Amino acid sequence: MRFKTALLPVFLALAFISCGKDNSGAGTGRPASVGLDRNGIVCALAWSQMSDQAKARVSLLYPEGLSSVAATLEDYLAIDKYNAYVPGLRKMNMNGRYFYDPNPTQAHGGDCLRGLRFAHYYLSHLDRFTLPDEELYFYHALLVNMVLDIHNLSLPALAPSGSRWTDSEGNDLMDTVCSEAFGNFSLSGILLSIGNLSADEAAGITAKSFEEWAQENCSASAGLASAPERQVRTAVQKAGYRLAYLFNLYYGGTL
Amino acid sequence: MRRIAFMTLAALALLCASQPAMGWGKTGHKAVVALAERHLGAKAQANIQHYMPEGFVKDASWADVHRHDDIYAFTTHYHTMMMTDDYVYAPAYREPTGGDCLTGLNVIDYNLTHREALKLSDSVVVFNIRMLIHIVGDMHCPAHAYLKDAPNNKWKCTYRGEELKNYHRLVDLMPDYMFEGQKSREIAGNLDKWDQDRIAAVQGGSFIDWAQDCCTRDRILYEINPVGTYELSPDTQERLVPACREALTAAGYRLAALLNKYFDY
In chain B, what are the domains?
2-263 (1.10.575.10)
Backbone angles phi, psi at B147, to 5 degrees: -80, 140
List chain A residues with CB under 8 Å of B84: 129
Helix residue ranges per DSSP H, chain B: 2-18, 25-38, 42-51, 62-66, 101-113, 122-140, 167-172, 174-178, 184-191, 196-203, 207-224, 236-263
Backbone angles phi, psi at A222, to 5 degrees: -65, -30
CB A144 within 8 A of CB A70: yes
pLDDT in tens, A100-153: 999 999 888 899 999 999 999 999 999 999 999 999 999 999 999 999 999 998
Minimal Cβ distance to B88: which of A84, A114, A129: A129
Minimal Cβ distance to A110: which of B90, B103, B117: B103
CB B150 within 8 A of CB B85: no
> What is the pTM (predicted TM-score) of this model?
0.87
Chain A residues with CB under 8 Å of a chain B CB are: 81, 84-85, 95, 97, 99, 101-103, 106-107, 109-110, 114, 117-118, 121-122, 125, 128-129, 135, 211
pLDDT in tens, A55-71: 999 999 999 989 899 99
Query: Are A85 and B96 in contact (CB < 8 Å)?
Result: yes
Shortest Cα distance, chain B CAs vs residue A102, angstroms: 7
Q: Is the peptide bond prior to B53 cis by the omega test (within 30 degrees of 0)?
A: no
Say yes or no to pLDDT of B242 above 50. yes
Nearest to A151 by CA among A71, A208, A68: A208
Q: Is B158 on the interface with A (CB under 8 A)?
A: no
Whole-angstrom CA distances from A74 to A70, A80, A149, A240, B45 are 8, 12, 15, 21, 50
Q: What is the ipTM of this complex?
A: 0.87
* Mean pLDDT along residues A206-233: 90
List chain B residues with CB under 8 Å of A128: 88
Say yes or no to pLDDT of B233 above 80. yes
Q: Is B13 on the interface with A (CB under 8 A)?
A: no
Torsion sign across C-alpha atoms A159, A165, A169, A170: negative
What distance in Å separates the CA atoms of residue B35 and residue B203, rounded to the nearest whole number? 14
What does DSSP say about strands B145-147 and B81-83: parallel, antiparallel, or unpaired? parallel
Torsion sign across C-alpha atoms A195, A200, A203, A209: negative
What does DSSP say about strands A92-94 and A156-158: parallel, antiparallel, or unpaired? parallel
- Least reliable range by pLDDT among A221-230, B232-241, B244-253: A221-230
Minimal Cβ distance to A118: which of B84, B95, B119: B95
Render A161-213 in DSSP notation, one character per residue.
TTB-SB-TT--BHHHHHHHHHHTTS-HHHHHHHHS---HHHHHHHHTS-HHHH
Query: Are A95 and B118 in contact (CB < 8 Å)?
Result: yes
What distance in Å separates the CA atoms of residue B249 and residue B245, rounded to the nearest whole number? 6
* Domains of chain A and CATH, by start: 8-251 (1.10.575.10)
